[in-house]
Amino acid sequence: MRPKGEVHLALLAAAQALATPERGATLRELAAASCVGLQAARHTVGYLSKSGALVVARTRRVPYRNKPVAEWVPAQPVTSAAPQPAAHALAGVLATWHASPVSTPQSPKPHTDSA
């Protein structure tokens, strides 16, 4: 997997800095705050949306466009108190495997020719 690029990191940082509980950042606001061109921001925000790093919180009206624009906010990571079933199963297997005694290899019996 490739490392995240400068535009990706700058847009995520801008989204985190501009997001408030009552308002998110528009694409233009993200581009301006991160010092990224509008075309590069539009392209990268699309990928950030597909990967789940940014989500549309709501839409709002702006003077420069007839349609409402999306307000982008960073996605909140899902944190749960209970471990996931697969992680719990793996932890159990690893604990059992670690606790099992180590078997020592048997020394081979000397071979005798009965011929």
Q: Model confidence over 14-31: pLDDT tens digits?
A: 999 999 999 999 999 999
Domain ranges across the chain: 6-74
Distance (Å, whole) CA 86 – CA 69: 40
Name the residue type at position 14.
Answer: A
Q: Which residues lie below 8 Å from residue 91, measured CB to CB, with a gap of 6+?
A: 83
- Whether this model's pTM surpasses 0.85: no
pLDDT, position 75 = 92
- The fold for domain 6-74 equals Arc Repressor Mutant, subunit A (1.10.10)
Q: Token digits for 11?
A: 């847009």
Q: Token digits for 55?
A: 């989500």
User: Quick check: helix, strand or coil at residue 28?
Assistant: helix
Residue-wise pLDDT tens digits, 43-94: 999 999 999 999 999 999 999 999 999 999 999 865 555 556 777 777 777 7
Distance (Å, whole) CA 46 – CA 51: 9
Beta bridge partners of 71: 58
